[in-house]
Amino acid sequence: MCTTCRDGCEGFCEVGKSAVRGKEAIYPEPFGEVSSASEKDYPIDFSHFNILGSVVCARGGSPGCSPDVFQDINLERAIGRRGNLKVKLPVIIGAMGSTDIASRNWDGLAVGAAISGTVITIGENVCGMDPRAEFKNGRVVNSPELKRRVKLFQNWNDGFGTIAVQANIEDNIIGVHEYALDKLGIQAVELKWGQGAKSIGGEVQIKSLERALMLKRRGYIVLPDPEDPIVQEAYHQGAVAAFERHSRVGTVDEESFLRRVEQLRQAGARFVFLKTGAYRPADLARAVKYASDAQLDLLIVDGAGGGTGMSPWRMMNEWGIPTIWLESLLYRYLDSLADKGAYLPAVAMAGGFSLEDHVFKGLAMGAPYVKLIAMGRAPLAAAMVAKTIGHSIKQGKISSIYQRYGATKLQIFYCATELKQRFGKDFNRIPDGALGVYNYFERLKQGLRQLMCGARISNLDGIDRGSLVALTPEAARVSGIPYVMELDQDLSKNILGLTR
């Protein structure tokens, strides 16, 4: 709340808004139209680390010095327990589920991921929220919305990347994974324990009484109770503007987890992922151990702070372990299992990444175990902006920001000419949002190549913890990355001829 609180104020602080809208004020507004993240200033973040450059192959040239031209650096990577899931860049788009903002921008995200050659995950509750979904004996047998999302990616995919379908406890009850594997031809499934923005189940707001009633009949927790006559009367009078649909939290044990993984493989899953959130260190250890024992293809670990706008404000700020600390713990746990010769899945780190230096630092801090960086809000923003600009081009009302580039899609979108040559007449079917995602990923690729070239690194396997330096003693203590004033001391003395 504000430092001074004046009688007569209409209420602009969190307390004031809560006095008028109560529980509704817990969530970002306008709900379903914004993506939100933590505003907390954590003591350490990735800005407290810098990338080290060199004029020589200072670390032995392994796996080789960078070529003189950064464009020659290969950013492709193969992951999975058999190494048969290939991506064109070390970035994946994290789960986009049943929220309105994900649904409205799915075309751009899915096609953008497909033509960029990376992985994208359909998030939780899509089937359960689909008003046209059909059920038999409590199991989903048809979901037009899930089918639409899957087919969009599959129709544009060229062999790199894949589309995964995520499932929480509600999805498992209605058999979402079995339906997607059997009817939609997906190859990758993702089990969800949580995410970096919240430690509770997913929630959305529903403004329709009829839809709220449908969701309660399907087994969801809906607040306030849409079947309550008093609530219905309040809704018709306008006192209840929206309903909240919540998911259960659930608990985890290794035996049931391993059993579920085996069931999914028998059902046809070629790749099995696990997504976990910013829980306490012991739960991170559980995720690492269970993923190792189950020989998963990918473990995604999400640091506290981010979200696509459906998480409670205070929870995004005040719960969970932030990315720097979480990845530092993750590295220790993975390194311990590696010393024992245990199987280790590929790992993706999530939690506030958006630009190429973030990608480099995230890969380096968790090297050699972190193979990918997972993003949600950043590619979503790229899709939304491109969709908006594409609409303005069609309307002939181009913003002054972009008028200097021209008046057509080919002129304004940087990579449009390249994509037109690649896809020919199908170029006109590419959603504007997908142009944005592709452009954004191309920027990440070039920026990452430039950083790698300056560090004399020729491929992704060359990015290691020695590529970073900590700028403060506290950052060094938490991460295990050397403090800048203590780095290269013996080597420097030897170069200067100061050793005896």
Mind listing the pLDDT tens digit for each residue in 386-397? 999 999 999 999
Q: Which helix (H) or strand (E) holds 301?
A: strand 298-302
Q: What is the mean predicted confidence (pLDDT) over 283-292?
A: 98
**pLDDT band at 36; cut points 50, 70, 90:** confident
Predicted confidence at residue 70, as pLDDT, reads 84
Contact 93, 124 (CB under 8 A): no
Predicted confidence at residue 411, as pLDDT, reads 95
Quote the tokens at residue 221.
């927790």
Question: Does residue 60 register a pLDDT over 60?
Answer: no
Question: Does residue 305 register a pLDDT over 90?
Answer: no
Closest CA to 278 of 333, 348, 350: 350
162 vs 86: CA distance, rounded Å: 9
Q: Which helix (H) or strand (E) holds 202?
A: none
349 vs 365: CA distance, rounded Å: 10
Question: Does residue 464 register a pLDDT over 60?
Answer: yes
- CA 346 to chain centroid: 16
**pLDDT band at 307; cut points 50, 70, 90:** low
The gap between the terminal CA atoms of the chain, to the nearest Å, is 63
Closest CA to 211 of 234, 230, 235: 235
Strand partners, 346: 298
Predicted confidence at residue 309, as pLDDT, reads 61
54 vs 355: CA distance, rounded Å: 22
Quickly list H helices, 238-312: 254-266, 281-293
Contact 168, 201 (CB under 8 A): yes
Share above pLDDT 90 across residues of the chain, in percent, rounded to a whole number: 75
Predicted confidence at residue 61, as pLDDT, reads 43
> Helix, strand, coil proportions of the chain in percent (round to 5)?
45, 15, 40
Please state, rounded to an integer, the average pLDDT across all residues of the chain.
92
Closest CA to 329 of 282, 274, 273: 282
Predicted confidence at residue 221, as pLDDT, reads 93
Extents of the domains making up the chain = 48-202+247-383+442-466
Predicted confidence at residue 12, as pLDDT, reads 85
Q: Which helix (H) or strand (E) holds 214?
A: helix 209-217
The domain defined by 48-202+247-383+442-466 carries CATH number 3.20.20.70: yes
Strand partners, 374: 92, 350
Q: What is the mean predicted confidence (pLDDT) over 111-118?
A: 98
434 vs 364: CA distance, rounded Å: 29
Closest CA to 305 of 285, 323, 325: 323
Question: Does residue 497 register a pLDDT over 60?
Answer: yes
Predicted confidence at residue 59, as pLDDT, reads 52
Q: Which helix (H) or strand (E) holds 191?
A: strand 188-192
Between 2 and 261, the more confident residue is 261
Q: What is the mean predicted confidence (pLDDT) over 292-314?
A: 87
Quote the tokens at residue 96.
């986009």
Q: What is the mean predicted confidence (pLDDT) over 223-241?
A: 95
- CA 38 to chain centroid: 15
